[in-house]
Protein backbone atom coordinates (compact mmCIF):
# COMPACT_ATOMS: atom_id res chain seq x y z
CA UNK A 1 0.00 0.00 0.00
CA UNK A 2 1.42 3.44 -0.89
CA UNK A 3 1.50 6.05 1.82
CA UNK A 4 -0.70 9.16 1.61
CA UNK A 5 1.22 12.29 0.66
CA UNK A 6 1.60 15.37 2.83
CA UNK A 7 2.53 18.87 1.59
CA UNK A 8 3.79 21.59 3.92
CA UNK A 9 3.83 25.34 3.27
CA UNK A 10 6.42 27.31 5.23
CA UNK A 11 7.62 30.88 5.03
CA UNK A 12 7.46 34.22 6.81
CA UNK A 13 4.13 35.76 7.79
CA UNK A 14 2.46 37.24 4.73
CA UNK A 15 4.38 35.08 2.28
CA UNK A 16 1.08 33.70 0.97
CA UNK A 17 1.47 30.21 2.38
CA UNK A 18 -2.18 30.05 3.46
CA UNK A 19 -3.38 31.34 0.09
CA UNK A 20 -1.28 28.81 -1.83
CA UNK A 21 -2.28 25.95 0.48
CA UNK A 22 -5.94 26.83 -0.12
CA UNK A 23 -5.36 26.57 -3.88
CA UNK A 24 -3.37 23.35 -3.79
CA UNK A 25 -5.61 21.32 -1.48
CA UNK A 26 -8.72 21.21 -3.73
CA UNK A 27 -6.51 20.51 -6.73
CA UNK A 28 -5.13 17.43 -4.97
CA UNK A 29 -8.54 16.65 -3.53
CA UNK A 30 -7.29 16.62 0.05
CA UNK A 31 -8.08 18.84 3.05
CA UNK A 32 -6.16 21.97 3.98
CA UNK A 33 -5.08 22.40 7.58
CA UNK A 34 -3.99 25.83 8.82
CA UNK A 35 -2.53 25.79 12.28
CA UNK A 36 -3.07 29.54 12.63
CA UNK A 37 -6.78 29.13 11.75
CA UNK A 38 -7.16 26.27 14.23
CA UNK A 39 -5.55 28.34 16.98
CA UNK A 40 -7.69 31.41 16.18
CA UNK A 41 -10.78 29.21 16.30
CA UNK A 42 -9.68 27.85 19.68
CA UNK A 43 -9.25 31.43 20.93
CA UNK A 44 -12.72 32.39 19.65
CA UNK A 45 -14.23 29.39 21.40
CA UNK A 46 -12.23 30.12 24.57
CA UNK A 47 -11.34 26.43 24.75
CA UNK A 48 -8.52 25.26 27.02
CA UNK A 49 -6.04 25.53 24.14
CA UNK A 50 -7.51 28.90 23.17
CA UNK A 51 -7.01 30.31 26.63
CA UNK A 52 -3.34 29.33 26.55
CA UNK A 53 -2.85 30.49 22.95
CA UNK A 54 -4.54 33.90 23.09
CA UNK A 55 -1.70 35.98 24.53
CA UNK A 56 0.88 34.40 22.23
CA UNK A 57 -1.20 35.13 19.13
CA UNK A 58 -1.89 38.70 20.16
CA UNK A 59 1.81 39.31 20.78
CA UNK A 60 2.94 37.64 17.54
CA UNK A 61 4.87 34.95 19.43
CA UNK A 62 4.68 31.21 18.82
CA UNK A 63 2.50 29.14 21.13
CA UNK A 64 4.51 26.53 23.08
CA UNK A 65 5.63 23.56 20.96
CA UNK A 66 3.61 21.01 22.93
CA UNK A 67 0.40 23.00 22.29
CA UNK A 68 1.11 23.38 18.55
CA UNK A 69 2.00 19.70 18.23
CA UNK A 70 -1.15 18.53 20.03
CA UNK A 71 -3.37 20.72 17.85
CA UNK A 72 -1.64 19.51 14.68
CA UNK A 73 -1.82 15.85 15.70
CA UNK A 74 -5.52 16.05 16.48
CA UNK A 75 -6.15 17.63 13.06
CA UNK A 76 -4.12 15.14 10.99
CA UNK A 77 -5.71 12.17 12.77
CA UNK A 78 -9.04 13.27 11.38
CA UNK A 79 -10.57 10.67 9.04
CA UNK A 80 -10.78 13.30 6.27
CA UNK A 81 -6.96 13.36 6.10
CA UNK A 82 -6.52 9.67 5.42
CA UNK A 83 -5.69 10.26 1.73
CA UNK A 84 -3.20 12.98 2.59
CA UNK A 85 -3.39 16.69 3.37
CA UNK A 86 -1.87 20.12 2.84
CA UNK A 87 -0.75 21.96 5.98
CA UNK A 88 0.43 25.53 6.48
CA UNK A 89 1.97 27.15 9.53
CA UNK A 90 3.22 23.85 10.90
CA UNK A 91 5.92 22.87 11.68
CA UNK A 92 7.37 26.22 12.73
CA UNK A 93 10.28 25.22 14.95
CA UNK A 94 12.93 22.51 14.71
CA UNK A 95 11.39 20.66 17.61
CA UNK A 96 8.01 20.67 15.85
CA UNK A 97 9.66 19.43 12.64
CA UNK A 98 11.35 16.50 14.38
CA UNK A 99 8.13 15.51 16.15
CA UNK A 100 6.13 16.00 12.95
CA UNK A 101 8.41 13.49 11.17
CA UNK A 102 7.74 10.98 13.96
CA UNK A 103 4.01 11.69 13.84
CA UNK A 104 3.87 11.13 10.06
CA UNK A 105 5.83 7.89 10.42
CA UNK A 106 3.53 6.62 13.11
CA UNK A 107 0.38 7.55 11.16
CA UNK A 108 1.79 6.16 7.88
CA UNK A 109 2.04 9.38 5.89
CA UNK A 110 4.73 10.37 3.42
CA UNK A 111 6.10 13.92 3.61
CA UNK A 112 6.22 14.71 -0.09
CA UNK A 113 7.24 18.39 -0.32
CA UNK A 114 7.92 21.41 1.86
CA UNK A 115 7.30 24.62 -0.08
CA UNK A 116 9.35 27.42 1.35
CA UNK A 117 7.87 30.69 0.14
CA UNK A 118 10.30 33.58 0.39
CA UNK A 119 9.40 37.28 0.47
CA UNK A 120 11.11 40.46 1.77
CA UNK A 121 9.93 42.34 4.89
CA UNK A 122 8.81 45.51 3.02
CA UNK A 123 6.43 43.41 0.92
CA UNK A 124 5.18 41.59 4.02
CA UNK A 125 4.29 44.90 5.68
CA UNK A 126 2.39 46.08 2.59
CA UNK A 127 0.50 42.83 2.31
CA UNK A 128 -0.43 42.25 5.92
CA UNK A 129 -1.49 45.73 6.97
CA UNK A 130 -4.02 45.65 4.08
CA UNK A 131 -5.14 42.06 4.60
CA UNK A 132 -8.76 41.36 5.49
CA UNK A 133 -10.23 37.90 6.13
CA UNK A 134 -13.76 36.58 6.11
CA UNK A 135 -15.03 35.58 9.54
CA UNK A 136 -17.27 32.93 8.04
CA UNK A 137 -15.37 31.14 5.25
CA UNK A 138 -11.78 32.36 5.75
CA UNK A 139 -11.43 33.88 2.24
CA UNK A 140 -8.61 36.42 2.13
CA UNK A 141 -8.67 39.91 0.57
CA UNK A 142 -6.37 42.90 0.33
CA UNK A 143 -7.69 46.45 0.48
CA UNK A 144 -5.54 47.52 -2.50
CA UNK A 145 -4.44 44.38 -4.38
CA UNK A 146 -7.62 42.27 -4.24
CA UNK A 147 -10.45 44.26 -2.66
CA UNK A 148 -13.89 42.71 -2.12
CA UNK A 149 -16.68 43.88 -4.45
CA UNK A 150 -18.62 45.38 -1.54
CA UNK A 151 -16.67 47.02 1.26
CA UNK A 152 -16.38 44.86 4.37
CA UNK A 153 -18.25 41.90 2.81
CA UNK A 154 -16.96 38.59 1.51
CA UNK A 155 -17.54 38.00 -2.24
CA UNK A 156 -17.82 34.25 -1.66
CA UNK A 157 -20.29 33.99 1.21
CA UNK A 158 -21.28 37.54 2.20
CA UNK A 159 -19.59 37.11 5.61
CA UNK A 160 -18.06 40.00 7.53
CA UNK A 161 -14.45 40.89 6.74
CA UNK A 162 -12.11 41.64 9.63
CA UNK A 163 -8.50 42.58 10.23
CA UNK A 164 -6.48 40.07 12.25
CA UNK A 165 -5.35 41.47 15.58
CA UNK A 166 -1.78 40.44 14.79
CA UNK A 167 -1.72 42.23 11.41
CA UNK A 168 -0.58 45.59 12.81
CA UNK A 169 2.81 47.04 11.85
CA UNK A 170 4.26 46.48 15.32
CA UNK A 171 3.13 42.85 15.70
CA UNK A 172 4.09 41.98 12.11
CA UNK A 173 7.68 43.04 12.89
CA UNK A 174 7.69 40.79 15.99
CA UNK A 175 6.30 37.88 13.93
CA UNK A 176 9.01 38.41 11.33
CA UNK A 177 11.76 38.34 13.97
CA UNK A 178 10.23 35.20 15.50
CA UNK A 179 10.15 33.67 12.05
CA UNK A 180 13.83 34.44 11.36
CA UNK A 181 14.94 33.04 14.68
CA UNK A 182 12.68 30.03 15.15
CA UNK A 183 11.32 28.99 11.75
CA UNK A 184 14.06 29.84 9.23
CA UNK A 185 16.29 26.98 10.52
CA UNK A 186 13.73 24.61 9.00
CA UNK A 187 15.04 25.57 5.55
CA UNK A 188 18.29 23.74 6.31
CA UNK A 189 16.50 20.87 7.96
CA UNK A 190 14.31 20.15 4.93
CA UNK A 191 17.05 20.90 2.40
CA UNK A 192 19.05 18.08 3.94
CA UNK A 193 16.18 15.64 3.51
CA UNK A 194 15.71 16.74 -0.14
CA UNK A 195 12.08 17.76 0.50
CA UNK A 196 12.44 21.52 0.17
CA UNK A 197 11.07 23.43 -2.81
CA UNK A 198 12.16 27.08 -2.83
CA UNK A 199 9.44 29.37 -4.16
CA UNK A 200 9.78 33.10 -4.85
CA UNK A 201 6.65 34.51 -3.21
CA UNK A 202 7.17 38.07 -4.43
CA UNK A 203 4.85 37.68 -7.43
CA UNK A 204 1.11 37.58 -7.89
CA UNK A 205 -0.90 34.64 -6.57
CA UNK A 206 -1.33 32.87 -9.93
CA UNK A 207 2.37 33.15 -10.77
CA UNK A 208 3.37 31.71 -7.40
CA UNK A 209 0.87 28.88 -7.83
CA UNK A 210 2.48 28.02 -11.18
CA UNK A 211 5.81 27.65 -9.38
CA UNK A 212 4.19 25.46 -6.73
CA UNK A 213 2.78 23.19 -9.41
CA UNK A 214 6.14 22.98 -11.16
CA UNK A 215 7.74 21.94 -7.90
CA UNK A 216 5.29 19.04 -7.56
CA UNK A 217 5.69 17.58 -11.01
P1 LIG B 1 -0.58 32.26 11.02
O2 LIG B 1 -2.05 32.33 10.80
O3 LIG B 1 0.05 31.07 10.38
O4 LIG B 1 0.11 33.55 10.66
O5 LIG B 1 -0.35 32.06 12.61
C6 LIG B 1 -0.83 33.03 13.52
C7 LIG B 1 -0.25 32.80 14.91
O8 LIG B 1 -0.64 31.50 15.39
C9 LIG B 1 1.26 32.82 15.02
O10 LIG B 1 1.79 34.13 15.11
C11 LIG B 1 1.45 32.02 16.33
O12 LIG B 1 1.12 32.81 17.45
C13 LIG B 1 0.39 30.94 16.20
N14 LIG B 1 0.90 29.74 15.50
C15 LIG B 1 0.51 29.29 14.28
N16 LIG B 1 1.18 28.17 13.95
C17 LIG B 1 2.02 27.90 14.98
C18 LIG B 1 2.97 26.88 15.25
N19 LIG B 1 3.24 25.89 14.38
N20 LIG B 1 3.66 26.93 16.42
C21 LIG B 1 3.42 27.88 17.31
N22 LIG B 1 2.54 28.89 17.13
C23 LIG B 1 1.84 28.91 15.97
Condensed to tens digits (0 to 9), the pLDDT of residues 36-84 reads: 999 999 999 999 999 999 999 999 999 999 999 999 999 999 999 999 9
Cα–Cα distance measured from residue 158 to residue 137, given in angstroms and rounded to the nearest whole number: 9
Q: The domain that contains 62 carries what CATH number?
A: 3.40.50.300
Structural domain total, the chain = 1
* Rounded average pLDDT over 24-47: 96
Task: Give the chain's count of helices (H) and strands (E).
Answer: 9, 8
User: What are the tens digits of pLDDT across the range 98-115?
Assistant: 999 999 999 999 999 999
Residues having CB closer than 6 A to ligand 1 are 13, 35-36, 39, 56-57, 60-63, 68, 89-90, 92, 96, 166, 175
In a domain, 149, yes or no: no
Choose which residue among 43, 63, 162 to substitute to test ligand 1 binding: the one with the highest number of ligand atoms within 8 A of its C-beta.
63
What's residue 150's pLDDT? 96
Full domain range(s) for residue 11: 4-119+177-202
Q: For residue 2, how far is its CA from the centre of ligand 1 (angstroms)?
A: 31
In a domain, 77, yes or no: yes
Cβ atoms 43, 57 nearer than 8 A: yes
pTM tops 0.85, yes or no: yes
In a domain, 93, yes or no: yes
What's residue 3's pLDDT? 86
Atom of ligand 1 nearest to the CA of 17: 3
In a domain, 100, yes or no: yes
E-strand ranges in 16-82 read 32-34
The answer, yes or no, to whether residue 1 has pLDDT greater than 70, is no
Amino acid sequence: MSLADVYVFAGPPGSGKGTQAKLLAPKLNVPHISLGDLLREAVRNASKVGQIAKNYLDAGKLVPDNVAIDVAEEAVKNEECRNGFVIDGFPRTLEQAVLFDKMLDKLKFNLKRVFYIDIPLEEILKRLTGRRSCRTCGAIYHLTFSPPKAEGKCDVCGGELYQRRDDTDEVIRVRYEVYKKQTAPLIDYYTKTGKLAYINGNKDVAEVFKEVNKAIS
